[in-house]
């Protein structure tokens, strides 16, 4: 038997498995069109490249995960791209197929040097940059230095870089990225073109995560993606990391990415349960409040997270009250509930709730017994619900009605709340019937039937400045409370319509919509008073007795004040 007969060849090697690439790296933007939420910066860079007005140093700042380093690499590709035919110049749309583009994307281009300032903080590291910047680029159009977390450089390193940074060679560009721009010396800031990368809005993140989930072949509930976007706090990288975890969690549980699974994974409280808890707080139902809190605690929700979500609820209701655009990441049910509370709660009550919850959040964060501290904080809010509003109390003391019993205020419950929560919010308990009513709602006030009644209503509630403006400027086109259309054909005071709507909403507890139109409208109260005065005088002069007296005594004058009193 020969040696060749025994040769079995090279043993078969096991195939090397491809390493999994996390979503935050897999979906890192490769073109400026894929960079979400930074349209202003992209437009500025596109115009600078098109007009050949490129700065020699760029400073990119923003919170973590908004794309600072990715943007720096995109700028490097945009400046060094030569196009598929090798004849192109700088462009805001790098081709991604030429050798410079591919080398920069893979991090192996010899003329694009990336340095982490957190691990290269000294003057010696900067000396290497200064020495290297003297030599022309080997194969690229520009030699580019990308320094991440540049604020970590030492004072000596910054000082050593100043001269080169101010007057670099024509072939060198510096790209700095930092999350703490306040730590960068002013002398460096003044030598750079600064771009502040914004937090990515939650609705844009939700759309992006939906695209990623679809590309990965994973089904995801819209509410689940909205929860991930809200938890990301404007950071695409953080959101993709959370989504990666949620997909892995869904693989273990079976099915797609569900909202309840994401909520449990993140330790978030159920926002529906928090809305119920908020309604119970407004109703002053202490036992029900404690039961609802304990249920959340048993589900594994951190007491501090409960207070944080309650703070978000108060903030959302306040924004709804001032007429701010609702957060598109919120569900329709939540937007409806916030609008309801914003209509029914006064500004003093919302500010009081905010301060009480904020104080409770601080106490729970440092408490030895967090759940007990959270219970005490919520009971303090329940107790505050029975206290009269300070502003209303001051007005009652001023007009001498402070001894009268406070009228029962309507309970405030979220729109679409469960039947149990509605009953707890709408009907007072028997043992609370004799106690003062919570000063959380607004006493119902009849809507004015005409401009005269509106003017009188403002005066009754002490809004004398607005009352004067209504008298002088309100020209009604359509009067159908709580909707008004008024004339803007003549100049109006600044923010007249908005301020009037806010005053009437505080007085009546109803949200008013006041629109302006460039039409004549009716006469103002002042103009009507002047017209009535002229008509009265004409009527007096037309009286035969008065006319005869004035004819007999040409120098006589009419005492109009006495004439009015005797009329």
Q: Do 234 and 116 share a structural domain?
A: no
Q: How far is CA 370 from CA 236, 281, 353, 472, in A?
A: 32, 19, 20, 57
Token readout for 55 is 């700065």
Token readout for 144 is 């580019």
Domain presence at residue 112: yes
3-state secondary structure of 476: strand
Of the three residues 196, 218, 242, the one that is the final residue of a domain is 196
CA pair distance 295, 121, nearest whole angstrom = 51
Domain presence at residue 336: yes
Instruction: Spell out the residues 6+ positions from residue 527 whose beta carbon is closer than 8 angstroms to its own.
Output: none
Q: Do 158 and 58 share a structural domain?
A: yes
Domain presence at residue 426: yes
Is residue 74 within 8 Å of 31, Cβ to Cβ? yes
Domain presence at residue 9: no
Handedness of CA 64, 66, 68, 72 (dihedral sign): positive
pLDDT tens over the chain, length 567 residues: 455 555 555 555 555 556 778 888 888 888 888 888 888 888 888 888 888 888 899 999 988 888 888 899 999 999 999 988 888 888 888 988 899 999 998 888 999 999 988 888 889 989 988 998 888 888 889 999 999 999 999 999 999 999 888 888 889 999 999 988 899 999 999 999 999 888 888 888 888 999 998 888 888 888 888 888 888 888 888 888 888 888 887 765 556 888 878 877 776 666 778 888 888 888 888 888 999 888 888 877 888 888 998 998 899 899 988 888 777 666 677 788 888 888 888 888 888 899 999 999 999 988 888 899 999 999 998 887 656 666 666 666 666 655 444 444 444 444 444 433 433 333 333 333 333 333 344 455 788 888 888 888 888 888 888 888 888 888 898 888 888 888 888 888 878 888 888 888 888 888 888 888 888 888 888 888 888 888 888 887 787 877 777 777 777 777 777 666 666
Q: Do 176 and 158 share a structural domain?
A: yes
Q: Do 335 and 427 share a structural domain?
A: yes
What is the predicted pLDDT for the residue at 263?
A: 77
Q: CATH number for the domain including 222?
A: 1.10.8.60
Domain presence at residue 5: no
CA pair distance 257, 244, nearest whole angstrom = 10
Is residue 146 within 8 Å of 76, Cβ to Cβ? yes
What is the predicted pLDDT for the residue at 393?
A: 63
Residue reference for tokens 């919120």:
330
Q: Do 152 and 33 share a structural domain?
A: yes
| Entry field: residues in the chain | 567
Q: 196 — alpha (psi -120 to 50), left (phi > 0) or beta? A: beta
Domain presence at residue 95: yes
Q: Do 419 and 296 share a structural domain?
A: yes
Instruction: Provide the number of structural domains found in the chain.
Output: 5
Q: CATH number for the domain including 77?
A: 3.40.50.300
What is the predicted pLDDT for the residue at 428?
A: 36
Q: Do 383 and 311 share a structural domain?
A: yes
Q: Do 34 and 120 share a structural domain?
A: yes
What is the predicted pLDDT for the residue at 410?
A: 40
Of the three residues 174, 196, 218, the one that is the final residue of a domain is 196
Q: Do 233 and 130 share a structural domain?
A: no
What is the predicted pLDDT for the residue at 409?
A: 41
Is residue 197 within 8 Å of 38, Cβ to Cβ? yes
Domain presence at residue 7: no
Q: CATH number for the domain including 464?
A: 3.30.300
Which residues form the domain of 213? 202-266
How is residue 220 annotated by DSSP?
A: B
DSSP string, 233-259: TT-HHHHHHHHHHHHHHHHHHSSSB-H
Q: Do 476 and 343 share a structural domain?
A: no
Of the three residues 243, 266, 289, the one that is the final residue of a domain is 266
CA pair distance 452, 486, nearest whole angstrom = 15
What is the predicted pLDDT for the residue at 566?
A: 65
Domain presence at residue 441: no
Instruction: Spell out the residues 6+ positions from residue 542 whose beta carbon is closer than 8 angstroms to its own.
Output: none
Q: Do 533 and 504 share a structural domain?
A: no
Q: Do 374 and 232 share a structural domain?
A: no
Token readout for 455 is 């003017």
Is residue 386 within 8 Å of 435, Cβ to Cβ? yes
What is the predicted pLDDT for the residue at 407?
A: 40
Q: CATH number for the domain including 344?
A: 1.20.272.10
């Amino acid at each position: 038997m020969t040696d060749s007969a025994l040769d079995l060849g090279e043993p078969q090697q096991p195939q090397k498995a491809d390493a999994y690439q996390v979503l935050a790296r897999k979906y890192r933007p490769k073109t400026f069109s894929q960079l979400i939420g930074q349209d202003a910066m992209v437009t500025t860079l596109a115009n600078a490249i098109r007009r050949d007005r490129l700065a020699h140093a760029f400073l990119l700042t923003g919170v973590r995960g908004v794309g600072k380093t990715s943007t720096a690499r995109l700028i490097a590709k945009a400046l060094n791209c030569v196009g598929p035919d090798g004849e192109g110049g700088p462009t805001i749309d790098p081709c991604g197929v030429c050798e410079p583009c591919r080398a920069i994307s893979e991090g192996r281009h010899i003329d694009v040097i990336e340095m982490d300032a957190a691990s290269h903080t000294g003057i010696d590291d900067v000396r290497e940059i200064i020495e290297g910047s003297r030599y022309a680029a080997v194969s690229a159009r520009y030699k580019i230095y990308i320094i991440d977390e540049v604020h970590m450089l030492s004072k000596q390193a910054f000082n050593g870089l100043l001269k080169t940074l101010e007057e670099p060679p024509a072939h060198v560009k510096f790209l700095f990225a930092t999350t703490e721009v306040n730590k960068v010396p002013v002398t460096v800031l003044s030598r750079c073109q600064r771009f502040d990368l914004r937090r990515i809005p939650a609705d844009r993140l939700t759309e992006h995560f939906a695209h990623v989930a679809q590309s990965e072949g994973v089904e995801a509930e819209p509410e689940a993606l909205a929860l991930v976007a809200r938890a990301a706090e404007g950071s695409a990288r953080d959101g993709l990391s959370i989504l990666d975890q949620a997909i892995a969690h869904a693989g273990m549980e079976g099915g797609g990415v569900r909202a309840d699974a994401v909520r449990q994974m993140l330790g978030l409280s159920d926002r529906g349960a928090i809305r119920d808890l908020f309604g119970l707080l407004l109703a002053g139902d202490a036992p029900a409040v404690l039961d609802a809190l304990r249920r959340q605690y048993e589900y594994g929700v951190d007491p501090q997270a409960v207070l944080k979500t309650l703070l978000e609820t108060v903030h959302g209701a306040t924004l709804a009250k001032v007429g701010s655009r609702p957060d598109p990441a919120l569900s329709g049910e939540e937007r409806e509930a916030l609008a309801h509370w914003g209509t029914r709660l006064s500004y003093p009550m919302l500010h009081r709730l905010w301060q009480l919850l904020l104080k409770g959040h601080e106490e729970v964060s440092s408490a030895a017994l967090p759940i007990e501290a959270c219970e005490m904080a919520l009971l303090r809010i329940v107790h505050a619900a029975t206290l009269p509003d300070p502003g209303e109390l001051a007005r009652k003391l001023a007009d001498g009605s402070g001894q009268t019993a406070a009228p029962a205020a309507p309970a405030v419950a979220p729109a679409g709340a469960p039947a149990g929560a509605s009953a707890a919010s709408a009907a007072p308990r028997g043992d609370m019937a004799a106690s003062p009513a919570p000063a959380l709602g607004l006493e119902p006030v009849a809507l004015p039937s005409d401009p005269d009644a509106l003017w009188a209503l403002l005066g009754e509630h002490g809004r004398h400045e607005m009352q004067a403006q209504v008298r002088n400027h309100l020209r009604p086109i359509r009067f159908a409370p709580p909707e008004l259309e008024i004339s803007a054909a003549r100049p109006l005071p600044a923010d007249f319509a908005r301020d009037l709507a806010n005053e009437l909403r505080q007085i009546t507890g109803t949200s008013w919509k006041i629109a302006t139109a460039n039409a004549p409208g009716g006469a103002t109260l002042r103009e009507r008073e002047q017209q009535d005065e002229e008509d009265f005088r004409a009527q007096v002069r037309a009286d035969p007795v008065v006319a005869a007296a004035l004819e007999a005594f040409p120098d006589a004058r009419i005492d109009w004040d006495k004439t009015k009193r005797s009329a």
